[in-house]
Structures are given as structure tokens and as C-alpha cells.
Amino acid sequence: MIEGEAWRRWVYFRIPLALFLIFLLFPFYWMVITTFRPDGELYRPWRAVNYTPFWTWNPTLDHIKYLFTETMFATWMWNTMFIAFASTVISLICGVLAGYALSRLNFAFAGSLGTGIFITYLVPQTLLFIPLSEIIRNYKLGDTPWSLILTYPTFLIPFCTWLMMGYFKAIPKELEECARIDGASRWQAMLYIIIPVAVPGILSAGIFAFTLSWNEFIYALVFLSSPEQKTVPVGVVSELIRGDVFFWGPLMAGALLGSIPVAIAYSFFVEHYVSGLTGSVKG
Amino acid sequence: MAVAASNIGEVTVAKPKWRPLENERNLAWLLLLPTMVLLGLFIAYPFMRGLMLSVTDSRVGVPGEFVGLDNFRRLAVDPIFHAVVWNTCLYTLVTTIFKLALGLWLALLLNRTFKFKAFTRAFILLPFIIPTVLSTFAWKWMFDPTFSVLNWMLYQTGFIRTAINWLGDGDLAMLSIIIVNIWRGVPFFAISLLAGLQTISPDLNEAAAIDGARPWQRFWHITWPLLLPVTMVVVLFSVIQTFADFQIVYVMTGGGPANATHLFATYAYQLGVGTGLLSQGAAVSLAMFPILLLIVIAQLLYIRRVEVR
């Protein structure tokens, strides 16, 4: 690369990148600072002389305490974790098997089924939530974690299948043929030879699916009604806003704490996450 | 068949074991079964139910009767629905243009080598990872008219003299949700396009630079055409997600003030869940389908054309 003078690097690279980072990360900083800011400072109009937006001298844990004593935040965290985990496992199993079938086995309709799954990948949740809420009620699943564990795979499976197809296609056919010559059945060759090779792909699909189900909102909002069943996003929306009154301190504390598990999971698997994200786009 | 082949050498031909899974077709269908059951039960069936709902007059707890296309006829003359169509198209178009432009710019910045590159990239994806509802609350708090840090910043830097009531005015509320959507979408564009950029050999750019091509010319004649297939797929995904967006609007404005920021999904939610008019809500959300289908078909055709070229 031909690098110019120092000022060029500042103008064309460092300053724009810094502005991007400020724009993208400022809301999180705001979340953190609000969480630890006492109410007295929180509700000080921006016109006030002593309005100090970017720091606080009197950090407090009151909002976090409120969250754990006055609301069922711990339960919501547990619900979200359980639902995200269970639906991810279901989607991974389905996606790996379906991806294997579609990419490595010859059978009629393989192509059209692949296209069909790609199309369901493009169906947004907001298209189906009203009829689905009726169906959930008819199956007697309403207000249980199963209403989400069984419906989240509808948008996770297509993604997992699509990603796994890409991974399986890259594995040479000879690997399976060797195993079969050595006496393995098709099932064994898949289970013991091919799937272990595809573990990085499974991790990518898994971490991506986990963040997606942690993020999901509209199904959880419509299907769950009692406070002890809610997930973090729904609980925060419905229990920390009473009419027109927003409890901003606990709200931001809830947003912060509700983001931490998914951020930690993400930080462990950044590379897998990125390859999942880009793999989903390349197809 | 493997089983038959292994029996050839034997004198007495043993009856081959019945192993149905050695047949590729049987195995394939077995592997696909769980996926097809789940997708059938919770996508195909609800879709049919939705179509059936939209031609009845059901409410919550009332089965309703067949009314033909009445729900859609009502939508055709509903001024709120007209606003919904306009809002959704505007929202999708404006945010997609900005997300693409900013995302591409950020991807080009990240494509250089610099210290803490992996670290920076990990942080940039945060808006995309963190649950949208939760991060949108941070924005709502930033846009709060009385306690707004944005107003404070604009006031301190001399851009405004009086408070801006971000979410209280129809146009400003629209602007606010557009900003939040761009904020959330830029990382996805940037990281996906960065992956596309990394597949382009730097030799091409160097060769062009030696031939005297300006940076802008190199971008326009080398990088952009090679990046186009990835760009189209990213845009396709983003357009669909944006068109069907719910979370940001639900948290920021709830469709208000005075229905000024309703999108398809929020209006469907308000009708179907808020007021209990199930069939009208289903009709609104199904009205998205033909438009989404057109977008998908147009984009897929275009992608195919780009790939063939």
C-alpha cells in the first residue's frame, strides 16, 4: 500500500474511523453511565447548569438492586437463557441433518427443497405472528417457554441449514467413500466422519443462532403473558414502563445486564460469529 | 450396493441384511424429516391460517365468518394504511441507502492493516449483537425531550437554540427511527462487505495503480464491480428485515405520534393484538407478502444476472 503524508492518514482514516466508533458505541456508553447514575442526577433537565452528561461523581447500585428485588429480572434472565439454548440446540440438530441431506445426498427434489428452505429463510417473523399466536393457543402452548422453543427454530433452521450446506459442500466426497469402503454405513460415515470435520461450521451456526434467539422480540411479546414467563426484552418493556412513566435507571440497568450474557458468548466466538455472518450472506 | 458386493465371494449367498438407510433417498428424507415437520407446523400452516383469517371477520375469542376480501377493501380506503405503506417504503429506502454507503465506507476503512484491527472489528459488531429492544431503549433515553443528551450536545455546539422534541413531531420521529435503524444496520453491512473486500486480490488494485488509475477510479472500476454480488445479497437481507421491522418502532414511538411512524408490522400488531381485530391485523401483515416476494424475485434475478456476467 502506498501511504501518503501523516495528515492524509488522519483525514482519510483515523478521524472517520474514530467517528464511526463513537457513533456505534455511544449508546452503550450511555447505557452504562445511566445504570450507575443516581436518580437525582438522572432527572436533571439538559438545560440545568450542573447537567454533566458524560460522567457522575456519585455512582450507585440502586437501579441494579431495584431490578433484582422489585422485578423478576433474574427469572427473565434464566428464561431467556433456557429458551435461547434449547431452540439453538434444536435448530442445530435439524440444520446439520438437513444441510447434510441437501448437500451430500442425491435424491429427487433436492434442489427445489433447498430453494424452499432458502425462501423460508427470507420470511420475517412479523408476517406470521398473528395466525401463529392462534395456533400456539390451540396447541395449549401459550404462556409457556415451549411456545418460543418450538417457534424460534422456524427462523433459525433455515439459516443453520444454509450455512451447513456451505460447509458440507467444501468437504471432499472421498472422505466419506473411504469410510464406506472400510465398512461404515452411510449413517456412521455422516456421524463419525463428516460431522466432526464440520464442527467449526456448527459452532458458527450455533453462536449466530444463540444471539438471534436472544434478540427475538415479537413472538415473545405476543405469546407470553405472565411476568414469571417473560424473556428479558419483553420483561423490561412491560414491567419497567407503567403507563407513561419510564423507570429509566432500572430500564438501562436491565438493558445493560440483559446484554452482557450475549456479549460474553459473542466475545468468546467472535471469529466463528463473523464467519457465520458472512457465510449466511455468501450462501 | 455395498451389501451385495460384499456377498459375491461367499458360496452360500446370505440374505442381505435389511438396511433401508443405505438407500440415499430414504436417508435423505429421514434427515429432512425434523426440519420439514417444524417448518410445516410453524411456517406453512400459519401461513395458510393467516390467509384464511384475512378473509374472515374474526376477533379474539370470536371465530368470525367468511367476508371475502372485505378486510383488504377496507385497507384500500384506510388513510392510516396508506401512511403505513408510504412510511415503510420511505423507511426502507432511506435506511438502505445510508446503511450501504456508510457500511461500505467503514468496510473500506477496516480493510487496511492497523493496530487493534481484530479488536475494533469485534466492537463494531456490538450494535448488531445486543438485543435490539434493549439498545433501542438507550436511544429512546437519548432522544428524551427533557433529559436529551443529544439536545445538550447540539446546544453546546451551537446548532440549536431551543429544545428539539425528537419523538413528539411526526417528521422528527421518523428521522429518529431512521437514525436508529441505520445505527443498528451499519455493522452488518460493514462486516459482510469487508468479507467481500478481502476476497478481492490486492494485485488488481496495485496493477491499476501502476497503470496510473486514481484511487476513485480504482474503486469504481475494480472494487465495486467485484463486490457487487456480495452487495446485492446483503442488500436483499437488509431490505427484507427493514421492511418487516417491528422492534425499533415499537420501542421508540409505538407508531405515534398520531400514527406518523407506523410500519406494516406495528400497525398489524396494533390492530391484531392491541385492539383484538385478528383478521384485520392478519390482513395488514399479509399485505407485506406480495411486496416482499417482488423484492426477493427482482433481487434474485439481478443476482443471477450479475453472477452470469
Containing A242, the helix (H) or strand (E) segment is strand A241-242
Contact A130 B272 (CB under 8 A): yes
pLDDT in tens, chain A (283 residues): 445 678 888 888 889 999 999 999 999 999 999 999 888 887 877 777 777 777 787 888 999 999 999 889 999 999 999 999 999 999 999 999 999 999 988 888 888 888 888 888 778 889 999 999 989 988 899 899 999 999 999 999 998 998 899 889 888 988 888 998 988 888 888 999 999 999 999 999 999 999 999 999 999 999 999 999 999 999 999 888 887 788 889 999 999 999 999 999 998 888 888 888 777 666 4
Which of B22, B42, B147 has its CB closest to that of A186? B22
Provide the pLDDT for residue A281: 66
Question: Which stretches does DSSP call E strand in A2-102?
Answer: none
| CA end-to-end span of chain B | 42
How far is residue B88's CA from residue B178's CA, in Å, rounded to a whole number?
A: 11
Q: Is A241 helix (H, G, I), strand (E, B) or coil?
A: strand
How far is residue A28's CA from residue B185's CA, in Å, rounded to a whole number?
A: 16
Which of A17, A98, A122 has its CB closest to that of B240? A122
Contacts of A251 in chain B (CB under 8 A): 137, 141
Angstroms from B151 CA to nearest CA on chain A: 8
How far is residue B230's CA from residue B197's CA, in Å, rounded to a whole number?
A: 9
C-alpha cell at B22: 443405505
User: Closest Cα partner for A190 from A229, A213, A164?
Assistant: A164
**Closest residue in chain A to residue B152, using alpha carbons only:** A46
pLDDT in tens, B9-39: 445 555 667 777 778 888 999 999 999 999 9
Q: What are phi and psi of B294, to 5 degrees?
A: -60, -45
Contacts of A158 in chain B (CB under 8 A): 39
Angstroms from A186 CA to nearest CA on chain B: 6
Query: Is B253 within 8 Å of B177 (Cβ atoms)?
Result: yes
Contacts of A245 in chain B (CB under 8 A): none
HEC string of B151-197?
Answer: HHHHHHCCCCCCCCCCCCCHHHHHHHHHHHHHHHHHHHHHHHHHHHH
**Closest residue in chain B to residue A126, using alpha carbons only:** B265
Query: Is A223 within 8 Å of A133 (Cβ atoms)?
Result: yes
| Interface pTM, i.e. ipTM | 0.91
The structural domains of chain A, ordered by start, are 6-60 (no CATH), 69-282 (1.10.3720.10)
Angstroms from B275 CA to nearest CA on chain A: 12
Provide the pLDDT for residue B7: 47
Provide the pLDDT for residue B155: 84
Q: What are phi and psi of B166, to 5 degrees?
A: -55, -50
- Segments of chain B with pLDDT less than 50: 1-10
Contact A131 B268 (CB under 8 A): no
How far is residue B130's CA from residue B53's CA, in Å, rounded to a whole number?
A: 35
Q: What residue type is assigned to position A102 of the chain?
A: L
Contacts of A213 in chain B (CB under 8 A): none
Indicate the CATH number of B74-308 among 3.40.50.720, 1.10.3720.10, 1.10.760.10, 3.20.20.60.
1.10.3720.10
How far is residue B42's CA from residue B39's CA, in Å, rounded to a whole number?
A: 5
Query: Is B270 within 8 Å of B255 (Cβ atoms)?
Result: yes
C-alpha cell at A117: 428452505
